[in-house]
Amino acid sequence: AAGINAEYGDNSYEISTMVSDAKELAKNGADGFVFGFLDGDQAVDINSCKLFMKSLSKEYQCTFHRAFDFILNMSNTLQTVKDLGFSRILTTGGGPDVSSSLDELKNFASRI
């Protein structure tokens, strides 16, 4: 899997650039992508995630990146991320490191 990141700003420009980068990476063997979008309220930007996934020429394994740790209500957002088609989430569980958030991570794992 390859990580796709963008600068903060105009999501429509970022998505276009990210899709172009993803297609180039796929040509060179990437079989999945790590990315994610948050909106100004620190919630998953559903429309941007859907647009990026839809813009790819085929389905790939998608992992929501560590932006998940900045979501205000991570527990309630798990199902949204799953429903969008992400198969994995990179997260520390909201803490500074994995060891400080083990209970939260176990809770997440039991629900996915």
Tokens 């957002």 -> residue: 77
pLDDT of residue 111 exceeding 90, the answer is no
From the list 33, 68, 67, 70, the residue with the least C-alpha distance to 53 is: 33
* pTM score, whole prediction: 0.84
Residue 9 has a pLDDT of: 53
| Tens of pLDDT, residues 33-60 | 999 999 889 999 999 999 888 888 678 8
pLDDT of residue 13 exceeding 70, the answer is no
Residue 75 has a pLDDT of: 87
Residues in the chain: 112
pLDDT of residue 12 exceeding 60, the answer is no
Residue 11 has a pLDDT of: 58
Amino acid at 38: L
